[in-house]
Amino acid sequence: MQFIDILIFAMLAAFLVFRLRNVLGRRTGSERPPFDPYSRTGAKRPEAPEAAADDTIVSLPGPALPQEEAVDPNDPVAVGIAKIRSADASFDKDGFIEGARGAFDMIVASYAAGDRETLRPLLSDEVYENFAGAIIDRAEKNHTMETTLVGIRDAGIVEATMDGRVAFVTVKLVSEQIEVERDAAGEVVSGNPSRVATVTDIWTFARNTRSRNPNWTLVATDASN
C-alpha cells in the first residue's frame, strides 16, 4: 500500500510539471528579455531624468513671452519702439502710455500745489529747475494756482528713439483742464474758473535701459492751448 501511494504521488507530480511547462513554456536560450520601458528608444529612468536628443520633447509651459510684432520700416515710431524693446524687453507700448497718463496727472497736480518734493524724482534736473522756479516765483507773489484735470482725451506716442543706452519716448497728451491763478486776495489774475480749456502737451520721457530703476523721467515739455 505504501508503494502504491508513492507511485500515485509521483504520477501527480509528473502531471503537474507537464501542465506547467505547457502553460509557461520552456527556456531555450533565445527568449526576449523582460520588457523594460526605459531600456530602449532613448528614454530615461525617472530617477535620473534627462532630455532626449530628438525633437519630440514637449516643454512644460512657462511664463508667456510677448509676441513680436511686425515692424513697418516706414513708420519711425514703430522702428524706434522696436529698438527700445531690443534694449529693454520689458518695454510695453500700451503700458507706457498708461504710465505717462498717470505721471501727467501727478505732475500737473503737484505743480499746481507747489509740491516740489513730489516733483523732484519725476523730473530731470533741467525740467525740475524750470518747474521749481515757477513755483518759487508764484510763492513770492503770494499767488496760488488751482488746476482741475477734467480728463485726458487722448494720449499716444509720437516719437521713440535710442541714444546709446538711453531710451527717449515722446508722448502727445490732449487734456481738458480748468486752470486759475489767484492773488493774495483771492482775485483771479489768470485763467477762468468757468472755462474748460483743451490743452495739448508734448512730453518727452527718458530712461537708462541698463538701470535697475524702472521709472522714467520727464526730460522735456511743450504745451499749447
**What is the three-class DSSP state of 141?**
coil
pLDDT tens, residue by residue, 128-169: 999 999 999 999 999 999 999 999 999 999 999 999 999 999
Say how far apart CA 131 and CA 145 lie, in whole Å: 13
Query: Residue 169's CB: how many other CB atoms inside 10 A?
Result: 24
The domain ranges of the chain are 76-224
- Strand, helix or coil for residue 66: coil
Span 26-68, pLDDT tens digits: 444 444 344 333 333 333 333 333 333 333 333 233 343 445 5
Q: Is the pLDDT of residue 199 over 60?
A: yes
Q: What's the pLDDT at 32? A: 39
| Complete DSSP assignment for 98-109 | HHHHHHHHHHHH
165, HSE (Cβ side, Cα atoms, 13 Å)? 5
Cell numbers for 24, please give them: 509557461
The CA-CA-CA angle for residues 199, 139, 130, to 5°, reads: 55
The dotted CATH code for 76-224 is: 3.10.450.240
CA nearest to 187, candidates 224, 141, 149 = 141
17-29 mean pLDDT: 46
DSSP, res 30 = -
Residue 178 C-alpha from the chain's centroid? 35
Nearest residue to 98 via CA among 184, 48, 156, 180: 156
Taking the model in full, what pTM does it have? 0.68
CB 149 within 8 A of CB 108: yes
Beta strands 197-208 and 166-182, pairing class: antiparallel
**pLDDT given at position 71:** 85
What pLDDT score was predicted for residue 34?
Answer: 40
Give the model confidence (pLDDT) of 92-139 as tens digits. Answer: 999 999 999 999 999 999 999 999 999 999 999 999 999 999 999 999
